[in-house]
Structure 1
Amino acid sequence: MLISASEWVLGDRPTAIRRARAAGFEAIELDATPGVDVPRLAESLADAGLAVPSLCWAWNSEDELGSPDPESRRRAQRYLLGSLELARELGASQLVTLPACRKVAWSLDETRMHGIERAAASISEVLADAPAEVSLALEGLRREESFLMNSLADADVLRSMIDDDRVGLVADVYHLAYEELDPIASLQRFEDVITLVHLAEPARTPLLATSPGVDTLVDRLRAMPGVRSATLEFEVGDDDAALAASAEFARTI
């Protein structure tokens, strides 16, 4: 399993690439930034010896795939297509995708299902013209971050509505610990459609060999057939030693 650092938690892009390389990573999950100078970025990654197996959706509550506002959805669709094209150029096989980036619903008469239905339609339209070699990985978030899609079951409803083999799920252990009644059982239930894993302790601290319950988690991850890569997405501040220690542990998964 390929283990990635996360640009999102390591600082600006040059800093994240430098820290990932210094910690011994072979890959990094970058923020999806369509319009970036791809040759220059590719050169920086090559110099650092880092592959890019996945890109991550940039947080934006104005442009949302599930929004009731058609213009908001269109902007989100343009971002989605641009991110998928960027992923292809960088050799990434997956894009972490968020249908909404807000804590509360758009209006009092909104239902979550309406938002998921709109997101499914928006994504399906984009996939018709998107690079065939890049997949989506739908991520549910803690409800304190987003109201629309929280659990693996929620994300799987959206995946089923899209009904495209290029769409799978992200299993983010940080979010699962909060939203799932039994995180390990949920991993097993959806193991055939989980294609990407984000690793952190429930407090978003580094996952290590000494983390409570880590042996059970590792056993489950090793048995999951569809996982292409795992991203270490925890907060370490400037503690590069903790980053390197978690990277060393993750390579044993």
Structure 2
Amino acid sequence: MIGYRYSYNVIGFGGEEISRSADRLARLGYDAMEVVGEPEKHDPKEIKKAADDAGLEISSVCPNFTPGRDLSHPDPERRSGAQRYLRSLADFAAEAGAPLFIVAPTAYGRVQPAAEAREEWLWAVEGVREAGEYAASAGVDLSLECWNRYGTYMLNRLEEGARMWRETGLSNGGVMADTFHMNVEEASLTEAVRGLGGLLNHVHLSDSNRLAPGLGHVDFAGFIGGLEEIGYGGYLAFELLPGLPNRLGVDAGLDEPTLDEVAGQAIRHSRASERAGVSS
């Protein structure tokens, strides 16, 4: 397969009007956009209209797991808060026309267990299962994300994500691969996605420094070649924190890249990597 569909997480555009983000992505050749999962702040109907007007799809909904949204915390209220949030995400995704939303088992930044680790694992499995069952009733899938050790202690490698997903018994979804987190945790990005096989259902692309592909040291041609080997057919979504690859450049009087330049760099480099990976 050649010709992956590309999406862009609009969080990288700093909260600008969604129609402006959609128009930019369409102009740069994107197929879809990934939107921020805060149902109380954003109108899914407005998002869908902006995407439709620009000729884009909504690839996915990216969540925000704050301390009060933690599926594995010993505090029942935090676990309940996470469930309420995930049910609202499922409804939000369905109304916006997104096929999936991303889920993680802990609040971001909790790098130590607050109870016995095995007990927290079981709470997480139960929580993901409940969220997935609700999402299935809304016609939406989940994508279970693994963060690096500086974001969570629980799921760091894709093989751990696959284990948790299998324990949920769910069929509506799978595991997500994020090259930024994988760069920290996986011995080989390519072997990690090969090991997931058919469980891989979403991909986040960013370079080793969380910038656009080509501004760090991730081998995207090899990674995309691995996706090709397992027959991955989902979106490749960029989750970037735009800025200069070397912040010292600010002191040297260099201009920061524009939003167009960041998004353009991402898709150009990835398409070139795609051609190189498929032909190798």
Q: 1:162 aligns with which of 168, 191, 203?
A: 168
Quick check: 1:3–1:250 contact (8 Å CA) kept in 2?
Answer: no
CA contact (8 A) 2:135 2:142 kept: no
Question: Would you say the 8 A contact 1:194–1:227 is kept in 2?
Answer: no
Which structure 2 residue ranges, 5 or more long, are not aligned? 244-256, 275-280
Q: Which residue of 2 aligns with 1:93?
A: 99
1:43-82 aligned within 5 A: 43-82=49-88
**Alpha-carbon shift at residue 223 of structure 1 (Å):** 2.1
Q: Which structure carries more relative contact order (alpha carbon 8 Å, separation 6+)?
A: 1
How far residue 38 of structure 1 moved from its aligned partner, in angstroms, is: 2.7
How much has 1:218 moved relative to structure 2?
2.1
Check conservation: 2:8, 2:34, Cα contact below 8 A: yes
User: 1:206, 1:218 → 2: CA distance?
Assistant: 15
Q: Which amino acid letter does the alignment assign opposite residue 183 of structure 1?
A: L
1:117 corresponds to which residue?
Answer: 122
Q: What is the aligned partner in structure 2 of residue 31 from structure 1?
A: 36
Q: Structure 1 residue 154: deviation in Å?
A: 1.6
User: Which of 239, 242, 245 pairs up with 2:265?
Assistant: 245
CA distance in 2, matches of 1:96, 1:243: 22
What is the CA–CA distance in structure 2 between the aligned matches of 1:4 and 1:140, rounded to whole Å? 20
CA, structure 1 residues 233+139, in 2 after alignment: closer, same or farther (shift >3 Å)? same
Which of the numbers 195, 200, 203 marks the counterpart of 1:197? 203
Structure 2 residue aligned with 1:130: 135
Pair 212,250 (structure 1): closer, same or farther in 2 beyond 3 Å: closer
Contact 1:68 1:115 survives alignment (8 Å): yes
| Contact persistence 2:212–2:263 (CA under 8 A) | yes
Mapped partners of 2:86, 2:202: distance in 1: 18
Q: Secondary structure at the match of 2:237?
A: strand
Secondary structure (helix, strand or coil) at the match of 2:30 reads: coil
Query: Which residue of structure 1 lines up, in the alignment, with residue 15 of structure 2?
Result: 12
| SS of residue in 2 equivalent to 1:129 | helix
| Alpha-carbon distance in 2 for matches of 1:97, 1:129 | 13
Aligned length: 251
Output the CA distance in 2 between the equivalents of 1:151 and 1:134. Answer: 24
Query: Residue 22 of structure 1: CA displacement?
Result: 4.2
Determine helix, strand or coil for the equivalent of 2:61. strand
For 1:41 and 1:189, how far apart are their aligned partners in 2?
Answer: 35
Greater helix proportion? 2
Residue in structure 2 matched with residue 188 of structure 1 by the alignment: 194
What displacement does 1:198 show? Answer: 0.8
Cα distance change of structure 1 residues 104 and 218 upon mapping to structure 2, 3 Å threshold: closer
Contact 2:143/2:173 (<8 A) preserved: yes
Distance 1:86 1:203 in 2: 31
- State the shift of 1:189 in Å: 0.8
Of the structure 1 ranges 128-137 and 81-90, higher mean CA displacement relative to structure 2 is found in 128-137
TM-score by length of 2: 0.81
Q: Which residue of 2 aligns with 1:234?
A: 240
Query: Could you tell me how far apart the structure 2 residues matched to 1:163 and 1:24 are?
Result: 37
**Cα offset for 1:34?**
2.1
Match of 1:2 in 2: 5
- With over 3 angstroms needed to count, the CA separation of the structure-2 counterparts of 1:119 and 1:227, relative to structure 1, is farther
Contact 1:103 1:146 in 2 (8 A): yes
Query: Given residue 122 of structure 1, which amino acid in structure 2 is its aligned partner?
Result: G
Match in the other structure for 1:105: 112
Q: Deviations over 1:189-240 (max 9, x none)?
A: 1122111111111111211499653322221122232441110122224532
Q: Which of 82, 87, 90 is the aligned partner of 1:84?
A: 90
Query: Residue 126 of structure 1: SS of its match in structure 2?
Result: helix
Task: State percent identity of aligned pairs.
Answer: 23
> Is the Cα contact below 8 Å between 1:56 and 1:95 reproduced in 2?
yes
Structure showing greater radius of gyration is 2
The unaligned stretches of length 5 or more in structure 1 are none
